[in-house]
């Protein structure tokens, strides 16, 4: 029996896993969350919600990804995984670091924004927006300018003693599709795939994440539209709150903290950050222009 | 009664026009129609809806894996929604490898299938895709043709298998185990009130004749075109100068070469004939 434990740090938590999770920063100390392989039931007897691929019960969340694995979150401290016999390890880990980690963060009371965040001179900028709008690609391009990646996809926000928002770093990988990888001048043949058969890659960018909380200073909502060039505009206060609410990463099936708390978090963030909306054309990448626009507003 | 009414068509067949009409009809307060805020319930290929309901990220799944989950997503939406849903769809009505339909019978109350002269679609599709006419015609004859089908790129929409134009039409007019109301784009033009009244009845919408007429007037092509000129249209593809371009019947006459017409007729003759787009002599009707 293999008793070796792998220790990692992400989103301010220390994880102890039965197995290696490539891409997560190594760590040590007492774990906050245990991840282990073991038998996972096919269903939860006391389920409150039964949906297409998951069930929710008191202090339990069961995710069943057909042909890949069943994942069970128990309380706030344990993730049990039962992979399918034919599943590839990379595929099993994709959903662990995706939905399962997202649910765990929310179950632990975390406030998560859907976006990609970078550390610019000690302050965090988060790019938000709908799927496929270019958040990760922009973050990777900013890292090319020497900035540090804080998180991709799920951005955990906490609040300091004075109620100011801070970005808690995730792990130092962005997930990019082939065309974005090529635009950034990387070779897909040298990269690890997010899933075995997807043309989506884990791209290490910039320096390793520091693990520290970084004050959140800028929120930039990305939008692709029929514009002919990249433009950026400051958001009025009312729209800033709406933008943050719209991009809050919240699973509908977890009750967690109530909506009042969620709204309060959004307002607190909106009050502390400079909000922008950056529009860019539907065709092409425009990364150079986007980075210039970002640099133009953060200098002011 | 709950359930989904599918607003189905091959692209560029008048789906947006129909949704504009329906949006006005569904509007409780009959406020002015806004093309950027249609009151129908999104599109079946929406990545956001899929992600929201499943809790997964479609971007972590292959197109085949997404397709396996899509029928369950639609059935779940239909079961959870407090009212009937009206969802746009461009996918052909296809079966998954296990034999179950992509669009489940359970949860589907019916479909309105809009069909348009493929000669006119070719012109409109070329503008929509920013390609030449021959390419658009080739797509319309391609059984493998998809929207958002590239695996190298993250598309804003889920993959949609369109099949060829003829196969698309036959998939929807022959395939579903739920009621399908077929309407022709050309009839929406020639007799809008009668055509839209029949569809409203099919969808069990209790609309008075005056309300239908008001909705038809609000969704008039010139109105949609003017709104787009003033405020843009968020569904317009990148390569297109304007989404609401001509909205005419018979624009193919001045746009297609004889060779292009012959190719389209040759590839789609049987279905064109079936739906009244070719005369008994094989001549285009519209």
Nearest CA to CA, how far is A1 from chain B (Å)? 32
Is B49 within 8 Å of B41 (Cβ atoms)?
Answer: no
Contacts of A103 in chain B (CB under 8 A): 55
Give the total residue count for chain A: 300
pLDDT of residue B238 exceeding 70, the answer is no
For residue A250, the chain B residue with the least C-alpha distance is B52
SS3 A17: strand
pLDDT of residue B194 exceeding 80, the answer is yes
Task: Tell the burial category of A29 from Cβ atoms under 10 Å away from its Cβ (0-12, 13-18, 19+).
Answer: exposed
Nearest CA to CA, how far is A122 from chain B (Å)? 31
Which of B158, B174, B155 lies closest to B166, judged by CA? Answer: B174
State the number of CA atoms in the 13 A half-sphere of B1 facing the CB: 10
pLDDT of residue B207 exceeding 90, the answer is no
- The number of beta carbons lying within 10 Å of the beta carbon of residue A59 is 11
Residue B38 in any domain: the answer is yes
For residue B155, the chain A residue with the least C-alpha distance is A132
Which of B55, B46, B128 lies closest to B88, judged by CA? Answer: B46
Nearest CA to CA, how far is A225 from chain B (Å)? 7
Distance CA A187, CA B157 (A): 26
**Chain centre distance of CA A230:** 25
Of A103, A200, A226, the CB nearest to B238: A226
Residue B91 in any domain: the answer is yes
Distance CA A297, CA B110 (A): 51
Q: Which residue has the higher pLDDT, B281 or B182?
A: B182
> Given CA atoms B173, B174, B175, B181 in this order, what sign does their dihedral have?
positive
Of B54, B60, B156, the CB nearest to A195: B60
Nearest CA to CA, how far is B51 from chain A (Å)? 9
Distance CA A199, CA B211 (A): 50
pLDDT (average), residues B68-82: 96
pLDDT (average), residues B204-225: 88
Residue B280 in any domain: the answer is no
pLDDT digits (tens, 9 = 90+) for A142-169: 999 999 999 999 999 999 999 999 999 9
B2 band by pLDDT with thresholds 50, 70 and 90 = confident
Give me chain A's average pLDDT, please: 92
Nearest CA to CA, how far is B82 from chain A (Å)? 17
Pick the residue of A198, A229, A231, A285 with the most B CBs within 10 A to test the interface with B by mutation: A198
Give me chain B's average pLDDT, please: 92
Which of B45, B1, B178, B44 lies closest to B105, judged by CA? Answer: B178
Which strands make up the sheet holding A6-10, listed edge to edge?
A6-10, A13-17, A33-37, A78-83, A69-74, A60-65, A54-57, A49-50
Task: Tell the burial category of A18 from Cβ atoms under 10 Å away from its Cβ (0-12, 13-18, 19+).
Answer: middle
Q: Is B54 left (phi over 0), alpha (psi -120 to 50) or beta?
A: alpha
Of B56, B60, B234, the CB nearest to A225: B234
Residue B51 in any domain: the answer is yes
> Given CA atoms A159, A165, A166, A170 in this order, what sign does their dihedral have?
positive
Inter-chain residue contact B55 with A51, CB threshold 8 Å: yes
pLDDT of residue A267 exceeding 60, the answer is yes
Size of interface A-B (CB pairs under 8 A): 84
Is B219 within 8 Å of B33 (Cβ atoms)?
Answer: yes
Q: Look at residue B1 in the predicted model and tell me its pLDDT.
A: 73
User: What are the distances in angstroms from CA A82 to CA A14, A68, A265, B62, B85?
Assistant: 21, 9, 35, 21, 37
CATH number of the domain to which B237 belongs = 3.40.50.300
* Percentage with pLDDT > 90 across chain A: 78
Q: Look at residue B241 in the predicted model and tell me its pLDDT.
A: 74
- The number of beta carbons lying within 10 Å of the beta carbon of residue B213 is 15
What is the longest distance spanned by two Cα atoms in chain A?
Answer: 60
pLDDT (average), residues A200-219: 83
Phi and psi at residue A95, in whole multiples of 5°? -80, -25
pLDDT (average), residues A243-257: 82
Contacts of B232 in chain A (CB under 8 A): 225-226
Of B65, B152, B234, the CB nearest to A178: B152
Q: Which residues contact A23 (CB under 8 A, 6 or more apart)?
A: A97, A171, A172, A173, A192, A202, A204
Of A51, A130, A198, the CB nearest to B76: A51
Inter-chain residue contact B54 with A52, CB threshold 8 Å: yes
Distance CA B238, CA B257 (A): 26
SS3 of chain B: CCCEEEEEECCCCCHHHHHHHHHHHHCCCCCCCCCCCCCCCCECCEHHHHHHHHCCCHHHCCHHHHHHHHHHHHHHHHHHCCCCEEEEECCCCCECCCCCECCCCCCEEEEEEEECCHHHHHHHHHHHHCCCHHHHHHHHCCCCCEECCCCCCCCCECCEECCCHHHHHHHHHHCCCCCEEEEEHHHHHHCHHHHHHHHHHHCCCCCCHHHHHHHHHHCCHHHHHHHHHHHCCCCCCCCCCCCCCCCCCCCHHHHCCHHHHHHHHHHHHHHHHHCCCECCCCCECC
ipTM of predicted complex:
0.92
Distance CA A224, CA B191 (A): 38
For residue A180, the chain B residue with the least C-alpha distance is B153
For residue B242, the chain A residue with the least C-alpha distance is A226
For residue A227, the chain B residue with the least C-alpha distance is B238
Inter-chain residue contact A179 with B153, CB threshold 8 Å: yes
Contacts of A153 in chain B (CB under 8 A): 57
pLDDT of residue B30 exceeding 70, the answer is no
Q: Look at residue B252 in the predicted model and tell me its pLDDT.
A: 96
Phi and psi at residue A248, in whole multiples of 5°? -65, 135
> Given CA atoms A227, A249, A89, A25 in this order, what sign does their dihedral have?
positive
Residue B286 in any domain: the answer is no
Nearest CA to CA, how far is B234 from chain A (Å)? 7
pLDDT of residue B24 exceeding 90, the answer is no
pLDDT (average), residues A251-276: 85
Q: Look at residue B226 in the predicted model and tell me its pLDDT.
A: 86
Task: Tell the burial category of B242 from Cβ atoms under 10 Å away from its Cβ (0-12, 13-18, 19+).
Answer: middle
Q: Which residues contact A2 (CB under 8 A, 6 or more apart)?
A: A18
pLDDT of residue B105 exceeding 60, the answer is yes
Q: Look at residue A208 in the predicted model and tell me its pLDDT.
A: 61
pLDDT of residue A1 exceeding 60, the answer is no
Pick the residue of B48, B50, B54, B60 with the most A CBs within 10 A to test the interface with A by mutation: B60
Q: Look at residue A300 in the predicted model and tell me its pLDDT.
A: 64
Inter-chain residue contact B62 with A226, CB threshold 8 Å: no
A285 band by pLDDT with thresholds 50, 70 and 90 = confident
Distance CA B68, CA B195 (A): 35
Distance CA A216, CA B100 (A): 48
Contacts of A131 in chain B (CB under 8 A): 47-48, 51, 57-59, 154, 156
Quote the number of domains for chain B: 1
Inter-chain residue contact A195 with B72, CB threshold 8 Å: no
Q: Look at residue B233 in the predicted model and tell me its pLDDT.
A: 82
Q: Look at residue A259 in the predicted model and tell me its pLDDT.
A: 76
pLDDT of residue A257 exceeding 60, the answer is no
pLDDT (average), residues A281-288: 86
pLDDT digits (tens, 9 = 90+) for B164-192: 999 999 999 999 999 999 999 999 999 99
B255 band by pLDDT with thresholds 50, 70 and 90 = very high
Contacts of A180 in chain B (CB under 8 A): 154
- The number of beta carbons lying within 10 Å of the beta carbon of residue B238 is 14
pLDDT of residue A256 exceeding 70, the answer is no
Q: Look at residue B231 in the predicted model and tell me its pLDDT.
A: 80
Q: Look at residue B113 in the predicted model and tell me its pLDDT.
A: 98
Q: Which residues pair with A26 in a beta bridge?
A: A8
Residue B283 in any domain: the answer is no
Domain with B62, as residue range(s), is: 4-274
Residue B229 in any domain: the answer is yes
pLDDT (average), residues B207-216: 90
pLDDT of residue A17 exceeding 90, the answer is yes
Of A130, A180, A194, the CB nearest to B60: A194
Interface membership of A200 toward B (CB under 8 Å): yes
pLDDT (average), residues B67-85: 96
Q: Which residues contact A3 (CB under 8 A, 6 or more apart)?
A: none
Q: Is A25 left (phi over 0), alpha (psi -120 to 50) or beta?
A: beta
Query: Which residues from B are below 8 Å from A when comparing CB atoms?
Result: 47-48, 51-62, 65, 68-69, 72-73, 76, 151-156, 232, 234, 236-239
Lowest mean pLDDT among A199-208, B7-16, B137-146, B153-162: A199-208
Q: Look at residue A226 in the predicted model and tell me its pLDDT.
A: 77
Q: Look at residue B267 in the predicted model and tell me its pLDDT.
A: 97
pLDDT (average), residues B220-240: 81
Inter-chain residue contact B152 with A179, CB threshold 8 Å: yes
pLDDT (average), residues A85-89: 94
pLDDT (average), residues B150-166: 95
Q: What is the pTM of this model?
A: 0.92
Nearest CA to CA, how far is B144 from chain A (Å)? 20
Residue B284 in any domain: the answer is no
Q: Look at residue A262 in the predicted model and tell me its pLDDT.
A: 85
User: What are the distances in angstroms from CA A52 to CA A75, A83, A88?
Assistant: 22, 19, 22
Pick the residue of B59, B61, B67, B232 with the most A CBs within 10 A to test the interface with A by mutation: B59
Q: Look at residue A23 in the predicted model and tell me its pLDDT.
A: 86
Q: Which of residues 158-197 of A touch B (CB under 8 A)?
A: 175, 177-180, 194-195, 197
Helix (H) or strand (E) holding A90: helix A89-95
Q: Look at residue A2 in the predicted model and tell me its pLDDT.
A: 57
Inter-chain residue contact B56 with A283, CB threshold 8 Å: no
Q: Look at residue A142 in the predicted model and tell me its pLDDT.
A: 95
């Amino acid at each position: 029996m293999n008793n070796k434990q792998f220790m990692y740090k992400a989103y301010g938590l220390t994880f102890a896993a039965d197995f290696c999770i490539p891409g997560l920063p190594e760590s040590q100390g007492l774990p906050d969350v245990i991840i282990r392989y073991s038998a996972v039931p096919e269903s939860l007897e006391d389920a409150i919600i039964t949906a297409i691929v998951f069930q929710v019960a008191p202090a339990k969340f069961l995710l069943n990804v057909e042909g890949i694995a069943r994942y069970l979150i128990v309380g706030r401290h344990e993730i049990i995984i039962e992979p399918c016999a034919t599943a590839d390890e990379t595929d099993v880990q994709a959903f662990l670091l995706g939905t399962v980690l997202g649910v765990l963060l929310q179950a632990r009371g975390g406030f998560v924004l859907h976006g990609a965040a970078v550390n610019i001179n000690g302050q965090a900028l988060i790019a938000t927006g709908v799927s496929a709008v270019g958040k990760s690609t922009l973050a990777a391009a900013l890292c090319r300018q020497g900035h540090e990646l804080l998180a991709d996809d799920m951005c955990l926000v906490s609040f300091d003693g004075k109620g100011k928002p801070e970005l808690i770093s995730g792990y130092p990988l962005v997930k990019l599709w082939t065309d974005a990888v090529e635009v950034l001048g990387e070779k897909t043949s040298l990269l690890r795939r997010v899933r075995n058969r997807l043309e989506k890659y884990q791209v290490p960018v910039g320096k390793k994440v520091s693990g520290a909380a970084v004050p959140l200073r800028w929120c930039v909502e990305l939008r692709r539209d029929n514009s002919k060039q990249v433009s950026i505009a400051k958001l009025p206060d009312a729209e800033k709150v709406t933008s943050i609410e719209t991009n809050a990463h919240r699973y509908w099936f977890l009750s967690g903290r109530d909506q009042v708390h969620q709204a309060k978090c959004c307002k607190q963030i909106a009050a502390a950050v400079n909000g922008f909306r950056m529009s860019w054309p539907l065709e092409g990448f425009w990364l150079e222009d986007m980075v210039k626009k970002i640099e133009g507003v953060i200098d002011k | 009664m709950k359930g989904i009414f599918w607003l189905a068509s091959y692209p560029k067949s008048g789906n947006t026009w129909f949704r504009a009409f329906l949006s006005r009809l569904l509007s409780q307060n009959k406020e002015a129609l806004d093309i950027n805020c249609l009151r129908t319930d999104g599109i079946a290929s929406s990545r956001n809806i899929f992600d929201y309901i499943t809790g997964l990220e479609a971007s972590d799944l292959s197109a085949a894996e997404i397709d396996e989950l899509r029928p369950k997503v639609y059935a779940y939406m239909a079961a959870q929604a407090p009212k009937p849903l009206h969802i746009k769809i461009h996918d052909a009505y296809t079966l998954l490898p296990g034999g179950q339909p992509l669009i489940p019978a359970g949860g589907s109350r019916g479909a309105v299938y809009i069909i348009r002269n493929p000669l006119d679609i070719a012109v409109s599709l070329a503008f929509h895709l920013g390609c030449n006419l021959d390419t658009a015609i080739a797509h319309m004859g391609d059984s493998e043709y998809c929207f958002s089908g590239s695996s190298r790129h993250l598309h804003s929409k889920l993959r949609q298998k369109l099949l060829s134009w003829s196969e698309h039409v036959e998939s929807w007019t022959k395939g579903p185990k739920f009621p399908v109301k077929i309407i022709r784009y050309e009839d929406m033009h020639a007799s809008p009130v009668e055509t839209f009244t029949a569809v409203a009845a099919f969808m069990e919408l209790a609309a008075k004749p005056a309300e239908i007429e008001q909705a038809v007037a609000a969704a008039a092509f010139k109105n949609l075109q003017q709104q787009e000129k003033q405020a843009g249209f968020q569904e317009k593809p990148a390569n297109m100068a304007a989404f609401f371009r001509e909205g005419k019947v018979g624009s193919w006459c001045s746009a297609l070469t004889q060779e292009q017409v012959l190719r389209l007729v040759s590839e789609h003759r049987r279905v064109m004939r079936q739906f009244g787009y070719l005369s008994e002599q094989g001549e285009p009707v519209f």
